[in-house]
């Protein structure tokens, strides 16, 4: 029986995967096995399946099992399927599984690699990338499944996170002048963050991704309502553009705040076990981009951070899939109204078929 991506998609959206991906992983493995593919699950919880032919390029189809909370049950309305994960990223997964099962490479290797932890710390992708034996000289490529409206995205911003810490001195609120109010000291920090992108030596505007952004997202300070706060913390979200690295950003912002304000103010990145998702860009001259152009896909940048960041360090990487991050009415992915159009999932599978046929064709020049 042929694989039905729409039936798989509906079952996948009905399967909660915001807290525990085990049921979703079992569903994927079961469907692959039912179509003659014996997948493996590695130590990081990633699902892997491969088709090998003669020596040639290694092409990887990658997306993720997990979704954000809360679970939103599947509900079909005509050709539109609503529910958590409909476009992020179970719609792309359904299209990729269909293309993987249909592909019969006569050159190279095709791997389906579905990660387990994309929405939090990317532990699955961080463990996976070193094991994939990716080699840019061999012509390898990675296609990352995310909602792009069937455009091929050749660049994407990165995401870093950290905390500005403001030091003060505690005192009784009845005698505020005897202390140093850290919350009051935080006020000029917000102004300074706004001006960070305008400082001398700041990153130039990227031709495709635009300017890097720096946004304060959380502020915490104080222990009691009748006490001058001794400390205040401001969490910031950085959406980076090439060639900025996490370490370079950390050093630049810490130095900038200390110089503009004073030494009681410092910045440090949030500690995490896996690397931050840095910005990436793939040459429009790469074979994988050319294959998507031949499949009549429009090129553009992706506006959110993805695990494409990890793969792009090794080989040309693009982002592609059905669905949209947002539409004219507002957010779609991660929103209660998340949806994907069923015909778009089928078109995504067809375009992936065309791309894979081109990349894994033996006489490709």
Report whether pLDDT(364) > 80: no
Mean pLDDT over residues 256-260, rounded? 96
Terminal alpha carbon distance of the chain: 35
Positive or negative: CA dihedral 357, 359, 361, 364? positive
What's the mean per-residue pLDDT of the chain? 96
- Spell out a b/e string for 343-365, using b for 16 or more CB atoms within 10 Å of the CB, else e: ebbbebbebbbbbbbbbbeeeee
Tokens of 238: 């950085």
Of 53-57, 82-86, 325-329, the range with the lowest mean pLDDT is: 53-57
Give the CATH fold of the 158-269 domain.
Alpha-Beta Plaits (3.30.70)
Which band of pLDDT confidence, cut at 50, 70 and 90, is reported for residue 361?
confident
Those residues with Cβ within 8 angstroms of residue 262's Cβ, 6 or more apart along the chain or in another chain: none
Q: Residue 58's beta-bridge partner residues? A: 109
Calculate what percentage of the chain has a pLDDT beyond 70: 99
For residue 55, what pLDDT is reported?
Answer: 87
Q: Which residues of 1-20 are buried (b: 16+ CB within 10 A; e: fewer)?
A: eebebbebbbbbbbbbbbee
Report, as an integer, the average pLDDT of 281-288.
96
Catalytic residues, by residue number, are 66, 118
Residue 365: is its pLDDT beyond 60?
A: no
> Do 5-156+279-359 and 158-269 agree at the fold level?
no
β-bridge mates for residue 48, sequence order: 40, 113
pLDDT of residue 106: 87
Element (H, E) at 90: helix 90-102
State the pLDDT confidence band at 1, using cuts at 50, 70 and 90.
confident
Angstrom distance (rounded) from CA 176 to CA 245? 41
Task: Kindly list the domain boundaries of the chain, sorted by start residue.
Answer: 5-156+279-359, 158-269
Q: Partners of 228 in the beta sheet? A: 171
- Give the tens place of pLDDT for each residue, 317-347: 999 999 999 999 999 999 999 999 999 999 9
Structure confidence at residue 54 (pLDDT): 80
The mean per-residue pLDDT over the stretch 63-80 comes to 97
Binned at pLDDT 50, 70 and 90, residue 362 comes out as low
Crossing angle of the two packed helices 342-359 and 90-102, in degrees rounded to 10: 40
Domain 5-156+279-359, what fold? Aminopeptidase (3.40.630)
């Amino acid at each position: 029986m042929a694989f039905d991506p729409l039936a798989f998609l509906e079952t996948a959206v009905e399967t909660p995967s915001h807290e525990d991906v085990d049921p979703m992983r079992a569903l994927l493995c079961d469907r692959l096995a039912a179509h003659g593919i014996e997948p493996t699950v590695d130590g990081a919880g990633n699902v892997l399946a491969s088709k090998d032919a003669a020596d040639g390029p290694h092409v990887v189809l990658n997306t993720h099992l997990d979704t954000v909370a809360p679970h939103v049950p599947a509900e079909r309305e005509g050709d539109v399927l609503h529910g958590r994960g409909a476009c992020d990223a179970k719609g792309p997964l359904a299209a990729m599984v269909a293309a993987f099962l249909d592909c019969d490479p006569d050159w190279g290797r095709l791997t389906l690699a579905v990660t387990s932890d994309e929405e939090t710390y990317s532990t699955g992708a961080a463990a996976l990338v070193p094991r994939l034996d990716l080699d840019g000289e061999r012509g390898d490529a990675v296609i990352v499944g995310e909602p792009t409206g069937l455009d091929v995205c050749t660049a994407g911003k990165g995401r870093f996170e950290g905390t500005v810490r403001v030091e003060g001195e505690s005192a009784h609120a009845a005698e505020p002048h005897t202390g140093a109010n850290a919350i009051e000291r935080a006020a000029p920090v917000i102004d300074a963050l706004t001006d960070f992108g305008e400082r001398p030596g700041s990153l130039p505007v990227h031709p495709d991704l635009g300017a890097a952004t720096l946004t304060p997202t959380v502020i915490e300070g104080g222990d009691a309502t009748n006490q001058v706060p001794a400390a205040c913390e401001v969490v910031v979200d950085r959406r980076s553009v090439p060639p900025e690295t996490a370490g370079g950003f950390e050093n630049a912002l810490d130095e900038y705040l200390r110089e503009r304000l004073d030494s009681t103010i410092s910045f440090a990145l949030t500690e995490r076990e896996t690397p931050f998702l840095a910005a990436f860009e793939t040459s429009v001259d790469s074979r994988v981009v050319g294959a998507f152009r031949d499949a009549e896909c429009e090129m553009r940048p992706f506006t959110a951070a993805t695990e494409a960041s990890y793969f792009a360090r090794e080989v040309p990487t693009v982002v592609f899939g059905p669905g949209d991050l947002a539409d004219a009415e507002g957010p779609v992915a991660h929103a209660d109204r998340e949806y994907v159009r069923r015909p778009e999932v089928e078109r995504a599978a067809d375009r992936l078929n065309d791309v894979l046929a081109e990349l894994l064709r033996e006489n490709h020049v």
